[in-house]
Amino acid sequence: MRLFSRANALHLGLIALLAALFFTLPAYHTGNLARIMVLAVFAMGYNLLFGYTGLLSLGHALFFSAGMYGLGLAMHLGAATPAPAFLAGLIAALIVSGVVGFLALRTTGVAFMIVTLMFAQAGYLTILYFGSYTRGDEGFVIQQAQRSLLGIDLSDDTNRYFAALILFAAALLVTGAIVRSGFGRTLVAIRENEQRATMLGYDVQRLKLIAVVLSGVLSGASGAAYALLFGYAGATFATVQYSIFPLLWVLLGGAGTTIGPLIGAIFMFYLIDYASGLTNAYLLLVGVALVALTLFASQGIVGTIRARWIRWLP
């Protein structure tokens, strides 16, 4: 079986497994999985930039919050329905990522990382400055009556889970197609040796800008979906913490793998969940576990499995 077919079979099998888990897991875990799937899309966006293009960003909370507030403000202040509000979130993320990419890509390496961090912090401060509209750290709730799409109540647990699954499935299949395409292979070439890619005639700056925009739109879609499905938008999601989270999820799951972001998000979520139930010093346990995983599985969970046993994993 060709790699293309095996990769598609894996992705479709994972989607089917997540659908089946809704009917077998307790409500607590299906609620967690809905949240994880939405955040995994955020990690996929980050993985496209970091794992495949080799650009380390510390500003992805800006794109996530752009999508979140694009949708949230459209519904909260403009009384928009979910479909056009979600589109507004995507457009907001598209514009923000385009501007940030155009400016930040004038730098490289550590400078790029710092510039993206500065943009994210500026976005956070902007949210606080316009607190009369955004409600700042307090945030605002999107009313249950507003969260209905084509007559489907997205605040219902079942509908929320399958809406999150549809978003995750679309993001997984799209990113899978991107990374297997000529464009995706070129991004990998840029990651491995940017100078050689330039010598081969590729417009590296244009390709990196496209990667930033695609990454930002995916992250924005996650932010918009989070606000819509869970009914809340707040400045907390624009803090540096939410720029670090996708980096951790990608590193834990496996940078440059299509399913690594989901595995990393699940691992991190439940590690914190179970450790916090054991002790108030749960962050110490989490830190020890993360250090151990980094030492003994430096390529992440999926990356290590691919390197040692199943080399065809996408």
pLDDT tens string 177-231: 999 999 999 999 999 999 999 999 999 999 999 999 999 999 999 999 999 999 9
Residue 285 forms part of a structural domain: no
Distance CA 32, CA 12 (A): 21
Tokens read off for 34: 């809905």
Q: What's the sign of the alpha-carbon dihedral 274, 276, 279, 282?
A: positive
3-state secondary structure the chain: CCHHHHHHHHHHHHHHHHHHHCCCCCHHHHHHHHHHHHHHHHHHHHHHHHCCCCCCCCCHHHHHHHHHHHHHHHHHCCCCCHHHHHHHHHHHHHHHHHHHHHHHCCCCHHHHHHHHHHHHHHHHHHHHHCHHHHCCCCCEECCHHHCEECCEECCCHHHHHHHHHHHHHHHHHHHHHHHHCHHHHHHHHHHHCHHHHHHCCCCHHHHHHHHHHHHHHHHHHHHHHHHHHHCEECHHHHCCHHHHHHHHHHHHHCCCCCCHHHHHHHHHHHHHHHHHHHCCCHHHHHHHHHHHHHHHCCCHHHHHHHHHCCCCCC
Write out pLDDT tens, residues 267-281. 999 999 999 888 888
> Is it the case that residue 4 has pLDDT exceeding 70?
no
Instruction: Note whether residue 254 is domain-resident.
Output: no
Residue 172 lies in a domain: yes
% of the chain surpassing 90 pLDDT = 87
Confidence of residue 3 (pLDDT cuts 50, 70, 90): low
Quote the CA–CA distance of 25 and 11 in Å, as a whole number.
21
- Joined together, the tokens standing for residue 125 give 């401060």
Residue 162 is assigned to a structural domain of this protein: yes
The mean per-residue pLDDT over the stretch 245-252 comes to 94
Share the mean pLDDT of the chain. 95
Tell me: the pLDDT tens digits for 150-165? 889 999 999 999 999 9
With bands split at pLDDT 50, 70 and 90, how would you rate the model's confidence at 24?
A: very high
User: In this structure, is residue 95 part of a structural domain?
Assistant: yes
Q: What digits encode the pLDDT tens for the residues 253-262? A: 999 999 999 9
What is the pairing mode between strands 148-149 and 152-153? antiparallel
Instruction: Give a yes or no: residue 152 inside a domain.
Output: yes
Res. 1 pLDDT band, cuts 50 70 90:
very low
* pLDDT given for residue 290 in this prediction: 84
The DSSP bridge partners found for residue 240 are: none
Question: How many domains are there within the chain?
Answer: 1
- Per the structure, the complete domain to which residue 132 belongs is given by 3-239
pLDDT score of 293: 85
253 is a domain residue = no
Confidence check: pLDDT of 2 > 80: no
pLDDT tens digits, one per residue of 87-135? 999 999 999 999 999 999 999 999 999 999 999 999 999 999 999 999 9
* Percent of residues, the chain, with pLDDT higher than 70: 99
The Cα–Cα gap between 188 and 1 comes to 24
Q: Is residue 308 part of a domain?
A: no
